[in-house]
A and B are shown apart, each in its own frame.
Chain A
Amino acid sequence: MTKSSNILKVAITALGRNKLRSLLTTLGIIIGVACVVATIGIGDGARIQAEDQLRSLGTNFLMIFPGSITSGGARAGFGASSKLSYDDLDAIRHEIQDVTYISATNRTTQQVIYGNQNWSTSIQGAETDWPLIRSWNVERGQFFTDQDVRSANKVCVLGATVAQNLFASEDPIGKIIRIKNLPFKVTGVLESKGGSTMGQDQDDTVIAPYETVRKKLIGTTSVGGILASAASNDLVATAQDEIAALLRQRHRIVKASDDDFIIRTQTEMLQQAEDQSRTMSYLLWSIAGVSLLVGGIGIMNIMLVSVTERTREIGVRMAIGAKGKDIRAQFLVEAVALSIAGGTLGIFSGLGIQKGVARFAGWPVAVQPQAIALAFLFSALVGIAFGFYPALKASQLDPIEALRYE
């Protein structure tokens, strides 16, 4: 229809006459929408990456840690209790059918030396099920054997980062490295797994037999933690319950008391990550809401100024036959055009910010078409909501008064 295209033309012409003002007015919307698009993209990227990494922890994965202990009213933190024993592990291994693989673990940080190179890294003790639980294979050489674990042999498998730092281009297999001044023979190098959820490099590690680490590097009797995997994804929760029941019984925990151990499952951790990102997105949406509100108020303000400024013009238009609804449509279309222009600019700046972040900070970003559509829709709604009152005011002007307005 020609009439609506005329209204659009009139609105765009009017905005074009005050380019700088129009731009400044839409700045609120631009910034709001840009923030939304950028942060949603970055947030989603982070969430997707976190989920990928949690999945990369292994399959149907469970972790059992000693819980906190209370001594004299002061509660020590996570893993402080030494209640978890190797007998517990054996009991789980033998009594719980749903657990297919199980491995004791412990961890210490040591300086690792080869030739004139040295590197501080985390040494993890593990048993032979470990690569199966973590779905983490040896790329070159071999993982150590059960015999190595039982005899506490000084052998180890290197993470890709450690291998790179100590050996560069040299082949590490069969070489002797020194950890805490003890010689360890390198039997293999793990495939690269990349950064973890917290941003630390998972490949920056050395895996050694559990008994070796316990006796020769840490010097303790207690188990640092137990890694296990359930037979299938459906059985993770069952296995968790069974392990909990077994451990409570073994540790003689009475009904009302808390567990002295903690069981984490991969599903739980995924859930947690999702909860976190949901909280994050609520936060982002409230920021978006506030900036769109502020942007909307800016638009209403400038539209009210514009109505006052153009009172005469409104009078003339009415005198030559514009009806209230024509005037209302004109100003409403102007407000919506402003906010949509702002929204569009905001989307592009948001995408630009995403690109910049992706390139310079190396964060992963995910462009979500729904987020863009939503940002666009919201900016249009803001235009309608905040443009309506000024438009109504304009349409209700008395033509006689308006024509007389100086």
Chain B
Amino acid sequence: MARARKAAEAPFDPAQPVIRIRDLYRIYRMGGSEVRALDGISLDVHRGEFVAVMGPSGSGKSTLMNIVGCLDRPTSGSYVLEGVEISNLDRDRRAEIRNDKIGFVFQNFNLLARTNALENVELPLLYSAKTNLTDADRRERARRCLARVGLAERWDHTSAQLSGGQQQRVAIARSLVNDPAILLADEPTGNLDSRTSEEVIAVFQALNDEGRTVVLITHDTDIAQFAQRIVAFRDGKIIADHPVEDRRRAAGGTFADAPPAAVEAVAAPQAAALPQAAALPQAAAQAPETTRTPGPIAVETAAAQAGPRGRS
């Protein structure tokens, strides 16, 4: 608890990486033999990045997701999320971190059955340490997040009454509701057809344009092309880490009924107002540079790029 308060008091320096991983090992012992699911990896993710983690199954990307998502602990090594060392936290503290800093989006949506969209989105707030929220506050926040993914009208639909793409958008709204440090999406398009996949990816891109940090786990090379940067895994090691050349832009993702600042987010207003035409190849190609220069955060870069485009 003391640790949580300390972390909350000291504002996180935006110049620092959101995720800072050093020499991370995750070793499973199975009847004498050991499996190195993560074999000494180091990785930084900066604020505002859109990173695709790629690799075949068994490459360690799911293990990485579990650790980055604070569901699992590394065997050794360091994982710092927004300045807080996670690797030695107990179950309850990790639950608090998950609630406060991580927005999960799963392959199979994982919405509660027979529960309407609004209640699903509200759910993380019920476990939040922010107990000063009233029922009305929670409702309002959930409603804004639903509006942000374009489903304000369908707030009272249950999962069964929504299409796959809509369900995934509800899940994204749920991941946003506590204003997390990172969005962690595990194969978010794995259960969707290609057209719906693009819709969902468009939402991630729009959120990223607003300054959200997105970590996308996928084995689909096409989907990875929507990210700014690809980190490729094989046998528990990072075998490649490079910016996406020729980044693809998905159509849609911002919605007319969304309030300007959907969540009291780090979102820079200019970035949010970015027109759809932002899908310019050269802008996408430049974006990954932020990963190499730790100084300016991605939002600022995006805002700077928005200027010249606005004139042209």
- A9 to B131: give the CA distance in the assembly, Å: 16
Contact status B110-A324, CB under 8 Å: no
B126 close to chain A: CB less than 8 A: yes
Contact status B110-A316, CB under 8 Å: yes
When C-beta atoms are compared, the residue in chain A nearest to B91 turns out to be: A324
CB of B109 to closest CB in A, whole Å: 10
When C-beta atoms are compared, the residue in chain B nearest to A5 turns out to be: B135
Chain A neighbourhood of B110, CB < 8 A: 312, 315-316, 319, 403
Chain A neighbourhood of B114, CB < 8 A: 17
When C-beta atoms are compared, the residue in chain B nearest to A396 turns out to be: B91
- Interface residue from B66, B100, B113, B133 paired with A321 (Cβ < 8 Å): B100
When C-beta atoms are compared, the residue in chain A nearest to B115 turns out to be: A13
A318 close to chain B: CB less than 8 A: yes
Chain A neighbourhood of B71, CB < 8 A: 318-319, 399-400, 403
Size category, B interface? 20 to 34
- Interface residue from B66, B91, B99, B115 paired with A320 (Cβ < 8 Å): B99
CB under 8 Å from chain A, chain B span 112-131: 112-115, 123-124, 126-128, 131
Contact status B112-A320, CB under 8 Å: no
Contact status B124-A320, CB under 8 Å: yes
- A403 to B62: give the CA distance in the assembly, Å: 12
CB of A325 to closest CB in B, whole Å: 8
CB of B147 to closest CB in A, whole Å: 20
CB of A333 to closest CB in B, whole Å: 13
Determine the main DSSP class of A at the interface with B.
helix
Contact status B123-A317, CB under 8 Å: yes
Contact status B106-A320, CB under 8 Å: no
Size category, A interface? 20 to 34
- A357 to B127: give the CA distance in the assembly, Å: 50
- A323 to B95: give the CA distance in the assembly, Å: 6
CB under 8 Å from chain B, chain A span 16-62: 17
| B-contact 0/1 string along A203-232, CB 8 Å cutoff | 000000000000000000000000000000
Known: A316-B112, A321-B96. A6 touches B126 (CB 8 A): yes
Contact status A320-B131, CB under 8 Å: no
Contact status A318-B95, CB under 8 Å: yes
B72 close to chain A: CB less than 8 A: yes
B237 close to chain A: CB less than 8 A: no
CB of A406 to closest CB in B, whole Å: 10
- Interface residue from A2, A17, A319, A326 paired with B98 (Cβ < 8 Å): A319
Chain B neighbourhood of A403, CB < 8 A: 71, 106, 110
CB of B148 to closest CB in A, whole Å: 17
A75 close to chain B: CB less than 8 A: no
Chain A neighbourhood of B123, CB < 8 A: 317, 320
By Cβ-Cβ distance, the 5 closest A-B pairs, closest first, are A321-B99, A321-B127, A320-B124, A323-B95, A316-B110
14 contacts between A and B (CB under 8 A): A2-B134, A17-B114, A312-B110, A315-B110, A316-B112, A318-B98, A319-B106, A319-B110, A321-B124, A321-B128, A322-B99, A324-B95, A400-B72, A403-B71
